[in-house]
Each structure stands twice: as structure tokens, then as C-alpha cells.
Amino acid sequence: MRKPFLALLTFYQKFLTVLGYGSCRYYPTCSEYAKWQFQKNNLFLALFHSTLRILRCNQLFPGGIDYPVVKMNLNFKRVCYHNANANKIIVQFWLVPKEGNSFYLIKTFKRK
Amino acid sequence: MTLLDKMTQQQRMLLAIVLSILFFVVYDFMLPKPKPLPVDANATAVTQSATTPAANSAPAAVSNAAPQAAAGSASAPVQTKAPAQTPAAESNTIAEVHTKDYHMYIDALGRVSKFEVLIEKFKTAEGKLPNLVSADAPVKPLEIRFSDPKLNNEAFKTEYTANQSKVVVSDKQTVLTLTQELSSLTVIKEIVVKPDGTYDVSVKLSNPSEYFISPGFRPDEQADMYTFKGVLIRKADGTIETIEDGKAQGNEVFMKANIIAASDRYFTNAFYDFQNGFDVYITKDAKEDPLAFVKGQQEMKLHVYSGAKDHEKLKSIDPRMTDIIEYGFFTFLAKPMFLILKAIYDFVGNWGWAIVITTILLRLVLFPLTYKGMVSMNRLKELSPKVKEIQKKYKGDPAKMNAKMMELYKKHNANPMGGCLPMLLQIPVFFAIYRVLLNAVELKHAPWIGWIHDLSAMDPYFILPVLMAGTMFWQQHITPNNITDPMQEKIMKFLPLIFMFFFVTFPAGLTLYWFVNNLFGVAQQYYVNSLFAKEKAAKKG
């Protein structure tokens, strides 16, 4: 279910984002924010938060750094990294505890 | 703007939501609500209970009435079709009606065989007028088909007689009576020609027999792939149902509908009755185009409108008639957009200027946002050494660079970006104007200034697309962005050029909107710059 959303967002980032000539006021950008949300949050919440984010993305708000907050049960088996090979773990996201089972979602910068 | 600064995060959020919802909803409320019909309560009840049995019996009834419907009853339908296309019946005009709005010709089968509307701007250089009943239409206005195949066959071979061969109406309504003597019954069609451009038709049979009468096939004057063509039904509850050409199922039934309109881009052939309603049956032809019929028993009276889908004209007949104007998926936005444009047009008398003024109004609505953004942008100029430092430090790592930049912006409460919301709000506005330009008959052949003689067609000299691309480039040049990917930056530089070619074939009115929008973007920027400069000078002094 989350795949079509992610595909749509990737398409938007690749081809359509130039139309708005990179006008987003935030890091991560709205589309990136939505992508992370759809990757790690439940679908409904992801949709909700992404919509709110776009509504917030205007001159009435200061903008700046605004990481997604996701709800996650850490006992749950869906881990936040993927195995590149058996010995090396490549971290994709950091979860910074906010409250209860809410976490700030922070993506690592790409290594060169 | 200090007010905005004092607001809490929540208050601003609320304001942003309200602003954006306002945008979509308020105009919707401005639309005249369909008045509840006096018969509504009953009608819906009837519809509910009647739908099931009717839906079951409908295909049978309709397939009898219409050609090509069911393979089983092929013999009768084929024959019904055949006489309808004999040249003798086609060419035999038994009556003509002339009013200030149209010329109508009735053929020997009691149908409208030709309907020319007198609209000056659609007149060709040779003096040809738009004809809403094309010669090869699969069904013609006022065509009657009986459920009984034998009777139907006979009816399509028996000629009507008219009580007068030429009716000219200027300010008094006149009745034209058409009579068809069949072996088992007599059909009397009374056409009441009214001076307001509409006419009524009442059908009387000497013996009851189930029949179907059609408002005709859709006009074929401006039928293209961009706009809706087919049949539109305004149902008993006031909702609209459309059946597009090539998509007819052939068994749709709508009880107690109050409008049935077969339309192309600008014209329509429609029946309407807001008092009693009528039962609409849709069949299809070989191309799966919908053919509309209204079911009758012995006596029935219908109001007929054939002509352009002109907002004012339809509104003068009945405000609900404006529902015939179909803008497709974007109707909910295009309709209010049209009403705004129309209100301004009524004031200034030129559609081009109406577009320009609408653009300015939209800009004004969003001005508080833009102003705040621009002021903070100027604050940013003082930060430029720090920005350069970051750019240098994180060259080749766009994500990290963005993050650092945003950190800096937030710290100094200055963010140069416009934001995604204002950008996304542009899209529906753009589409609404596009749909209005495509669909509204008022915009056809509507001039602006000088070289623009038709806002709904492309700019013949490519001046507007070039101006649009030029201002787009200019705006890009003075607006900061956070694109760090060199590939994207290249694409962005070429964007005005791409847009220019993209816009070449677009309606001139749309290019005009985009051009004016860019122009005011640029002007706004310079204005705020000057305000800021003054403020700074005052502080120093």
C-alpha cells in the first residue's frame, strides 16, 4: 500500500520539483518528509502528517529543520537498517525518542 | 505584519489551514444552491422505489425502442433505422421555424433535421451558421420511437403533416402542429415556439402506447478530445450525471430527472422540466455513444432548449440550467472561477482584462504571505557571508548543505523560500482557468488587445508565450532557491524555454494569466525591496 505513494513521491522529486524551483522552507523538504513518513509510519498517520506539513510550508511559519515524528513499537520486527552484508550494518534512520512510542525520524547523510 | 509575528505556532497553523480551505470552499458556497423542488420529497421516494423495477424492465423497453440495442431484436431495430436514413425523409422539410435566435427545420418524420443558431461570432466568413443537428446524427431532436416494434416500423415510414410550413416568431409565441396518422393511433406533436429562444413540445397520442422521445444527439460543431461530449443528466435530487461518448452502457435509467442535455464543447440539445421531471432512458449506438430518450405514455409536455451553453442565457431560463455547463473533473473550481471572471467581465467588458484583474486579485489575497516571505528574504541578505561559507563547506553534499542552511534560517528567523503550499495552490487555479477557457462559450472568440482575437485559442504570433517565458526567467533570476543538485539546476535554467514551447499551443488566455502572474511576482519583489530600503534608511537617519 505504501509503495504507490513512495513511487509517486520519487517521481515528483525527480521530474516535477523543478516546477516549484525548490521552494520548500524546511529540511527535510516536504516531499522528503512525506517519503520518510510513508517508509516508517503507518499509512494513515503518514498521510495526515504529510498533509499538515504542506499546510505549514508557507511564509506564516519560520520553516527550518523539522523532522518527522513517527509512532513505532520497537518490539516490532521492522528494523531501521538493511543488511548490506552480514558483518556491516548500514544505518539509514536514527530514531530519537520523543515521548511514549513516538520518535523523531532522522535520516543519515549519504556517505561519500 | 507584527501581528503575524506575535501569533503562536498553533494560531498560524490554524490561519494557514483556514486560508487554504477558504480558497476551495468559500467560492463553492457562493454558488447558487439548487432550490429544493416542490416535488422533491415525493420524487426521491418515487425514484427509490421505482428504480429497481424500472431498471429491470428498462433494457427490454429501451432495446425495443432503440436501434442496435439488442442482438435478439435485431430485425425490428435495423428496419427502424433504415427508413430514418432514407434520403427522401431526410430532405423533405415540411416546416421551418425562424426566430431571432435560430432557424429550425422539421423533416417528414416530425424531427428536427437542421437547427442553425444565430450567433454572430460563430458565423463563418461564408456566412455559415453552427448547425446543432448534423445530417448523420444517429438520433434527431423530437424523434419518437415506439416500444411496439410493429408500430415503430410503421411510424418510421409514415410522413407527418404540418399545419403551416413556415413560422416566424418575433415577440409572440406561435404553435406549430405536426400530425402523423398511423393505422392504430394518431400522433400530434405541438411545437410552441417562444420568443425567448426556447420552445415547448407536447405529444398527444389518440391511444396510449409506450414511446420514447429524444432531445437529439449531441451537436457536432465543436467536438474534440479535450472537452466533454455526450449526455448530461440532472437527476431528481439535483446531482449531475454525465455519460461520455464511447462510454455508454446502454441501459442507464434516471427517474424524474429534470434536465437531459446532449452537448459538445459549446452547444447543447436539451429537454428540461423542473416541475414534474421526466424519466430518462439512455441507449447506445455502435460507437457506444449515448443516445438519450425520455419515456412517454400518452400525453406529455417538455421544454426544449437548443443552443449555446451561454451562462446568462441558461440562467435566464432557470438558474438550475447552468448545470449543463460542464467543465469536467475541475467543475467544482472552474465554475466559481468562471463566475468571478464573469462578474469582472460585466464590469470591464473585456474577458482579457477580466483575466488580468482576476490574477491581480489572487495575488492580493496571497499578498500577506508573500510580503512576509519577502521581508524575511531581505533580512537574509545580511546573512549572505554565512550562507556562502556553508555552501563552500558542504559542496557536493546537498542534503547536509540544506540542513545547515535551514538551521541558519531558523536561527535568524529569515527564510527565503516561498513554501510548498503557495506553490501547490497555483495548480488548481491554473487548471480552473484552463477549463474555463476550454469550455466556456463566452470565452470563444473573446478578444483582448491588439493581436489577441480569441483568448480560447493559441496566440497566433507567439508573443504571449515569449513574454511568459521571459518574465518567468526574470522571476527565477531574482528569486532564491535551494536547488543544490547541478543537474536540477540545469533543468531549472531551461524551464522557461520548455514552458514556452509547452504554452505555444495553449489558449492565449492561460498564457496571459501566467504572464501577468509572473509580472506581478517580479513587481511585488521590487516593491517590497524598495519598502525595505526605505525602512533601513529611516533607521540609519
Per-residue model confidence as pLDDT tens for chain B (541 residues): 445 555 565 566 566 656 655 655 554 444 444 433 333 333 333 333 333 333 333 333 444 444 433 333 333 333 333 334 334 444 588 888 888 888 888 888 888 888 888 888 888 878 788 888 888 888 888 888 888 888 888 888 888 888 888 888 888 888 888 888 888 888 888 888 888 888 888 888 888 888 888 888 888 887 777 778 888 889 888 888 888 888 888 788 888 888 899 888 888 988 888 888 888 888 888 888 888 888 887 788 889 898 888 888 888 888 888 888 888 777 888 888 889 888 898 888 888 888 889 888 888 888 787 777 767 766 766 777 787 888 888 877 777 787 887 788 777 777 767 778 888 888 888 888 888 888 888 778 777 887 877 778 777 788 888 888 888 888 777 766 656 667 767 777 777 888 788 788 888 888 888 888 888 888 877 776 676 667 667 766 5
Of A21, A24, A107, the CB nearest to B419: A24
Question: A28 by DSSP, 3-state: which?
Answer: coil
Question: B516 by DSSP, 3-state: which?
Answer: helix
* Sign of the Cα pseudo-torsion (B486, B489, B494, B499, in order): positive
Q: Which residue has the cell 422521445?
A: B213
CB B482 within 8 A of CB B530: no
Pick among 2.70.98, 2.20.28, 2.60.40, 3.30.300: CATH of B36-326? 2.70.98
**pLDDT of B422:** 81
Rg from Cα positions in chain B: 30
Those residues of chain A whose CB sits closer than 8 Å to some CB in chain B are 17-30, 52, 54-65, 107, 109-110, 112
Rg from Cα positions in chain A: 15
Q: Would strands B299-308 and B199-205 be described as parallel, antiparallel, or unpaired?
A: antiparallel
**pLDDT of B5:** 54
Measured distance between the N- and C-terminal CA atoms of chain B, rounded to whole angstroms: 23
The torsion angle over the Cα atoms of residues B357, B362, B363 and B364, rounded to 10 degrees, is 90
Cβ-Cβ pairs closer than 8 A, A with B, add up to 124
Please report, for chain A, how many H helices and E strands are present, in that order: 3, 7
> Phi/psi of residue B124, each to 5°?
-80, 170
Nearest in space to B294 (alpha carbons), one of B282, B306, B280: B280
Q: Which residues of A touch B423 (CB under 8 A)?
A: 19-20, 23
Contacts of B83 (CB under 8 A, 6+ apart): B89, B109, B153, B156, B157
Give ranges for CATH 2.70.98 in chain B: 36-326
CA–CA distance, B97 with B174 (Å, rounded to integer) = 10
CB B213 within 8 A of CB B110: no
Q: What would the pLDDT profile of B238-251 be if each residue is shown by its tens digit? A: 888 888 888 888 78
**pLDDT of B68:** 36
CA–CA distance, B95 with B489 (Å, rounded to integer) = 69
**pLDDT of A53:** 92
B7 touches chain A (CB under 8 A): yes
What is chain B's percent helix, strand, coil content, to nearest 5?
50, 20, 35
B369 touches chain A (CB under 8 A): yes
**pLDDT of A64:** 81
Nearest in space to B141 (alpha carbons), one of B310, B271, B308, B334: B271
Tell me the percentage of chain A whose pLDDT exceeds 90: 8
Q: Which residues of A touch B420 (CB under 8 A)?
A: 20, 23-25, 29-30, 54, 57-58
Of A27, A58, A112, the CB nearest to B403: A27
- Residue B395, Cβ density class (10 Å: 0-12 exposed, 13-18 middle, ≥19 buried): exposed
CB B247 within 8 A of CB B284: no
B496 touches chain A (CB under 8 A): no
> Phi/psi of residue B412, each to 5°?
-100, 10
Closest-CA distance, A45 to chain B, in angstroms, reads: 18
Closest-CA distance, A3 to chain B, in angstroms, reads: 23
pTM for this entry: 0.73
Task: Indicate the pLDDT class of residue A34, thresholds 50, 70 and 90.
Answer: very high
What residues pair up with B241 in beta bridges, in sequence order?
B233
CB B202 within 8 A of CB B299: yes
What residues pair up with A93 in beta bridges, in sequence order?
A107
CB B325 within 8 A of CB B439: yes
Contact A62 B410 (CB under 8 A): yes
CB B480 within 8 A of CB B414: no
Contact A22 B483 (CB under 8 A): yes
Nearest in space to A67 (alpha carbons), one of A102, A101, A99, A33: A33
Q: List Cα–Cα distances, A99 to A27, A70, A95, A102, in angstroms.
A: 22, 11, 12, 5
**pLDDT of B66:** 43
**pLDDT of A48:** 92
Nearest in space to A112 (alpha carbons), one of B388, B400, B390, B488: B400
Q: Which helix (H) or strand (E) holds B155?
A: helix B149-155
Q: Which of the pair, B297 or A83, is modelled with greater confidence? A: B297
Interface probe, candidates A13, A16, A18, chain B, greatest B C-beta count within 10 A: A18
Q: List Cα–Cα distances, B268 to B163, B271, B321, B365, in angstroms.
A: 28, 10, 11, 36
Interface probe, candidates B14, B413, B420, B484, chain A, greatest A C-beta count within 10 A: B420
